[in-house]
Structure 1
Amino acid sequence: MPDPDRPDRGTSVAGPGPRSLMGLGVSPGRSAGPLIRMAGPPALPAPRAVADPAAEVATIAKALEAVVTDLRRRAGETTDATAAEILDALAMMADDPMLREEAEQHVHDGHDAPHALDTAFTRHRETLAALGGYLAERAADLDDLRHRAVAAALGLPMPGVPSPGHPYVLVAEDLSPADTAGLGGEVRALVTSLGGPTSHTAILARGRGLPAVVACVGILDVPDGTVVSVDGGTGEIGLGLTPEAAAEVVDGDRLERERLAASGGPGRTADDHPVKLLLNIGSAADLRPNCEGVGLFRTEFLFLDRRQAPGFEEQVAAYAEVFAATGHVVVRTLDAGTDKPLPFLGLPAEPNPALGVRGLRVDRVLPAVLDTQLDAIAEAARVTGTAPWVMAPMVTTVAEAAGFAGRARSRGITRVGVMVEVPAAALQARELLAEVDFLSIGTNDLSQYTFAADRQHSGLADLLDPRQPALLRLIAMCAEAGRAAGKPVGVCGEAAGDPLLAPILVGLGVTSLSMAAVRVPAVRDELARHTLDECRRLAGG
């Protein structure tokens, strides 16, 4: 449950230094070093008269091409599969012909190339922001693309992460996926004044094992060079540390990481109650040796950068690669829609896409997409001799669950489940489990819909804290339904990778936790410190 003594985010409190700030801890670990703020975007010069429109149009094309080329180069160089997929998706946004055509039209209206690009990106951003949900999340990505394209049009270096030649703590209003994916070894921790627990900054920081804090009000007022400590678990930022104190924080974190890295084995409590610790992956590249399996195979990463859906054979190959590599895999069917638009779906824009056609609801208008995917999963299972579990996202009614289960089982898929991402599903957990074999709770969306708080709204980050009692009560309802039915109930949202929350979730009755690979050692270690009865007491049971 939330700690009543925990200081409010954004307030100054007594801390390890003269004072501290509080944000939302989104990637555990502790580090310290001098604070360096991210450089701002390129400044636009005064508009100039356009003497040669064709030359301005050519400049626009070259600038956008430079952005696309740079992003694809970064995607090819990174070893982080999730980062590569995000960078490829950003490159596709920058390569959008409609964006280029709009910028060119502004040239014909009298704008020079940098201002034409600025106006085109600004209008696209306003459109996405007004739509809300996942599309609003992508508005921030357009800001970064705009900065890069304008810089290229001005003949300036593209904005990026500082490289001072020594370790430091990176501070920014927000970080783009391109910035986060390209972080060098000098960056010890990340702190942003905006963002939420499911932002790209948070996801990529967790994947890299970097301590990170978001939604930290006041951090941009701290002068460059101030030595700070960052606790990515509690969200506390200590200010004004001595060099000796900073070194102590860094050494302590290093020793703790070494201790955790040396641990191994399956997840279990101190009294040997088993809790599967599984991985969230986007492709086989995210797998790790000796993992207990995959609790969330995000198949949409296969679709992200496509203007046409991947064909049956291509899907079979991608799924089979994962199935053959590990014994237990939970596949989530395509989680996309108007909130996560994919060009090949051709879905019309909606006023509020977070409440519109997304997840399993896409099947209402494009049933062939799910049919092909289920056929490919079944064929991949056949050729690998495996029995993957398959679940549908954004299930809301018992009828939806029954319909999905019937279609999956008709293809020979024997373990079928659904995701619990909306309160309606949690409230009907018993009825859902009469139709399916397991539930997987997606705490990111379940928080968003339970508290009516946009996942990316930094001012509402406290409502997205997975320790909120109302969210825990919904999780408990699902777990109790699982116990009654004798069927597993897992958590695959970001809450599953929180070491301090893991014992509470187990105490509520959750049977598995699925997370980024880097978070498994800390969660395993924390569970091993508690008996099952202690977990239940922590959960208030």
Structure 2
Amino acid sequence: MPERLRGLGVSPGRAAGRAHRMADPPALPAPVPVSDPGRELDRALRALEATATDLAARAAKTSDAEAGAILEAQSLIAGDPVLRESVEANVKSGADAAHAVDAACAHHRRALEAVGGYIAERAADLDDIRNRAVAAVLGLPVPGVPDPGYPFVLVAGDLSPADTAGLAPASVVALVTERGGPTSHTAILARARGLPAVVACRGAAGIEEGTWVSVDGGRGEVETGIGEEEAAGIRRRAAAERRRTAGVRGPGRTSDGHPVKLLLNVGSAADLRPPRGLPAVDAEGVGLFRTEFLFLDRREEPGYEEQVAAYEAVFRAAPGGHVVVRTLDAGTDKPLPFLDLPGEANPALGVRGLRVSRVRPRVLDTQLDAVAEAARASGTEPWVMAPMVTTVEEAADFARRARARGITRVGAMVEVPAAALRAARLLDELDFLSIGTNDLSQYAFAADRQHGDLADLLDPWQPALLRLVADCAAAGRAAGKPVGVCGEAAADPLLAGVLVGLGVTSLSMSAPSVAPVRESLAALSLERCRDNARLALDADGPAQARDMVIPGSAAGSCSYDEPRGG
């Protein structure tokens, strides 16, 4: 009998195929007495070194800049001296090589989970390092993505960067995981590849190997036990949708001509280079330049000249030269060794984003200097915004520091309810706002993004979240200033019309989402968008909001054809 499972949709689109699961991680044999601790330590450290080398090689080989950055970071974790010291301590305590590696990774995993927030979502990195290193110690094949010989839906407890970096859309048509959140590796790389994905899916562990399933990455639904004919119908409709979507080009606008800027989320200039053989994404600029990718996993702060070069490369490569720069979004939730910040009991509520400048003001000053110089060198006028702004005083101080360097368009991320509630006053000091729906959901609903049991609270269709977006948009309309959305809610073709109806002026997303969002908006008048927005705001929950809106604006499905009988 068909069964419908619910999770968190993190990459929109529909797909159907047979379900296949990731191979089980290597099981530990019974502990063995250690007669030669030196030999055991050598085996364990060699396994970690081989794992780090392999991950670095994968990072160098992938053409996906974001996947490469994640793999490189994971390689650094595998080679971290602290992890090696933990392995050595376990061997000295009598553990054999396999158990020493397993215990060390488990210890560090618990430490990440205790931090919470973004850092807790990196716990899967340790699982993957553990599985690869233990397999190396035991002489077993490295666990990885199955290859049944035909396109399929990949089901897993969670996916590591090494797993997702090698995914080929011709083979894997959708992702379903039991764990994960909106900023997990699975979510990030699924969006980058345009793969429908549902994470934190209750019941995913019970999906039988080889059964036919459909995945709706917009609704966050997985239906198991469907028939082969139904699956074929889903694939045909999705393929037709892809063809129709690909034919819509040009600036974003509704059917009656209301303009909506469609922008890209990027981490470096490499993200603006199209994959080999594919045309460049028809976007109108960069709506979120995540500068922290230049800083993450660095033991020393990148120098002024290095920052200038990195920013200038993005400014020159961006469509139309339009770039919205987000200053360093890091802190105790995304620790950087060179910041040397003390640990915190609750990093998500601590020194992060703009708050870092309270204790390390020079870091922000150097970054603003570099942005200003890169703008002069490239002849562009970037917009610059600060993350985690909560008060009018913070906004005014940031604006003063940026404008003192000749930066003319200054804004803020709206990621906490306090900022949304004071949007009108923030815009007295600023030129624009950009709403980060991922963090705004977390803080508005007091729900950790890593907590799978709370995935429904993080749904971007939550009416309370949409109300905060509406309030920000109303403030922007009254001030005559733009208000955009750069959280992944912007990438949902169905939700895009609702956001426009709420008054949002731009949507920023990963590259594969631009065409489906453009096509969806082109099918809706501005008045219809406003009607849909009112319906979504009046709903009791996200499921009802979707059900009320979707009948008049269904668009943006995607899937892949699969041989019958596969």
Q: Same fold (TM over 0.5)?
A: yes
Matched, 1:308 2:300: yes
Aligned position for 2:474 = 480
Aligned position for 1:175 = 159
**2:317 equivalent among 312, 325, 328:** 325
Which range moved further: 277-286 or 340-349? 340-349
Matched, 1:261 2:253: no
C-alpha separation in 2, matches of 1:37 and 1:381:
48
Matched, 1:214 2:208: no
C-alpha separation in 2, matches of 1:30 and 1:408:
43
The alpha-carbon deviation at position 72 of structure 1 amounts to 1.2
Aligned position for 1:49 = 33
C-alpha separation in 2, matches of 1:383 and 1:466:
39
* Contact 1:198–1:494 (CA under 8 A) maintained in structure 2: no
Aligned position for 2:335 = 341
Aligned position for 1:156 = 140
C-alpha separation in 1, matches of 2:241 and 2:294:
36
Q: Deviations over 1:391-449 (max 9, x none)?
A: 00011111111111111101100000011001111111111111111000000000000
Aligned position for 2:10 = 26
Secondary structure, in 3 states, of the residue corresponding to 2:4? strand
**2:484 equivalent among 490, 509, 519:** 490
Secondary structure, in 3 states, of the residue corresponding to 2:385? strand
Aligned position for 2:62 = 78
Aligned position for 1:522 = 516
Aligned position for 1:465 = 459
Cα-Cα RMSD: 1.4
The alpha-carbon deviation at position 289 of structure 1 amounts to 4.5
C-alpha separation in 2, matches of 1:129 and 1:25:
23
* Contact 2:156–2:176 (CA under 8 A) maintained in structure 1: yes
Which range moved further: 303-312 or 275-284? 303-312
**2:177 equivalent among 180, 187, 192:** 192
Aligned position for 1:437 = 431
* Contact 2:47–2:133 (CA under 8 A) maintained in structure 1: yes
Q: Deviations over 1:51-95 (max 9, x none)?
A: 111111211221111111111111112221111111111111111
Residue identity in the other structure for 2:186:
T
* Contact 2:427–2:479 (CA under 8 A) maintained in structure 1: yes
Structure 2 segments unaligned to the other structure (5+ residues): 273-279, 536-566
Q: Deviations over 1:17-41 (max 9, x none)?
A: 7343333222122222211111111
Q: Deviations over 1:270-328 (max 9, x none)?
A: 11010000000001111244420000000011112321111111111111011112221
TM-aligned CA distance change 1:234 to 1:329, over 3 Å: same
Residue identity in the other structure for 2:225:
G
Aligned position for 1:250 = 235
The alpha-carbon deviation at position 241 of structure 1 amounts to 3.1
Aligned position for 1:381 = 375
Secondary structure, in 3 states, of the residue corresponding to 2:122? helix
Which range moved further: 530-539 or 439-448? 530-539
Matched, 1:89 2:73: yes
**2:351 equivalent among 342, 349, 357:** 357
C-alpha separation in 2, matches of 1:234 and 1:466:
10
Q: Deviations over 1:117-161 (max 9, x none)?
A: 111111111122122222222223212221112111222222111
C-alpha separation in 1, matches of 2:14 and 2:452:
22
* Contact 2:118–2:183 (CA under 8 A) maintained in structure 1: no
Secondary structure, in 3 states, of the residue corresponding to 2:402? helix
Secondary structure, in 3 states, of the residue corresponding to 1:505? helix
* Contact 1:374–1:408 (CA under 8 A) maintained in structure 2: yes
Secondary structure, in 3 states, of the residue corresponding to 1:41? coil
C-alpha separation in 2, matches of 1:243 and 1:289:
34
Aligned position for 1:276 = 261
Aligned position for 1:11 = none
The alpha-carbon deviation at position 198 of structure 1 amounts to 2.6
Residue identity in the other structure for 1:249:
I
Secondary structure, in 3 states, of the residue corresponding to 2:73? helix
Matched, 1:107 2:91: yes
C-alpha separation in 2, matches of 1:22 and 1:397:
37
* Contact 1:121–1:142 (CA under 8 A) maintained in structure 2: yes
C-alpha separation in 2, matches of 1:463 and 1:359:
23
The alpha-carbon deviation at position 471 of structure 1 amounts to 0.8
C-alpha separation in 1, matches of 2:60 and 2:509:
24
Residue identity in the other structure for 1:33:
G
Which range moved further: 329-338 or 192-201? 192-201
Q: State the TM-score, normalizing by the size of structure 1.
A: 0.95
C-alpha separation in 2, matches of 1:95 and 1:18:
46
Matched, 1:121 2:105: yes
C-alpha separation in 2, matches of 1:365 and 1:22:
42
Secondary structure, in 3 states, of the residue corresponding to 1:434? helix
C-alpha separation in 2, matches of 1:195 and 1:19:
22
Aligned position for 1:393 = 387
C-alpha separation in 2, matches of 1:127 and 1:237:
32
* Contact 2:154–2:176 (CA under 8 A) maintained in structure 1: yes
C-alpha separation in 2, matches of 1:236 and 1:400:
40
The alpha-carbon deviation at position 458 of structure 1 amounts to 1.1
* Contact 2:121–2:180 (CA under 8 A) maintained in structure 1: no
C-alpha separation in 1, matches of 2:199 and 2:501:
28
What does 1:12-23 correspond to in 2, within 5 Å?
A: 18-23=2-7
Residue identity in the other structure for 1:244:
E
**1:533 equivalent among 527, 532, 556:** 527
Aligned position for 2:217 = 232
Matched, 1:293 2:285: yes
C-alpha separation in 1, matches of 2:37 and 2:247:
63
C-alpha separation in 2, matches of 1:51 and 1:316:
55
The alpha-carbon deviation at position 459 of structure 1 amounts to 0.7
Residue identity in the other structure for 2:304:
F
Residue identity in the other structure for 1:516:
S
C-alpha separation in 1, matches of 2:337 and 2:146:
35
Residue identity in the other structure for 1:270:
S
Q: Deviations over 1:235-262 (max 9, x none)?
A: 3323233333322322322221122112
* Contact 2:187–2:197 (CA under 8 A) maintained in structure 1: yes
C-alpha separation in 1, matches of 2:218 and 2:315:
33
The alpha-carbon deviation at position 221 of structure 1 amounts to 1.2
* Contact 2:121–2:183 (CA under 8 A) maintained in structure 1: no
C-alpha separation in 1, matches of 2:184 and 2:123:
12
C-alpha separation in 2, matches of 1:30 and 1:468:
21
* Contact 1:37–1:220 (CA under 8 A) maintained in structure 2: no
* Contact 2:6–2:221 (CA under 8 A) maintained in structure 1: yes
C-alpha separation in 1, matches of 2:218 and 2:118:
26
Residue identity in the other structure for 1:298:
R
C-alpha separation in 1, matches of 2:328 and 2:102:
34
C-alpha separation in 1, matches of 2:464 and 2:206:
34
Aligned position for 1:506 = 500
Residue identity in the other structure for 1:56:
E
- Aligned length, in residue pairs: 525
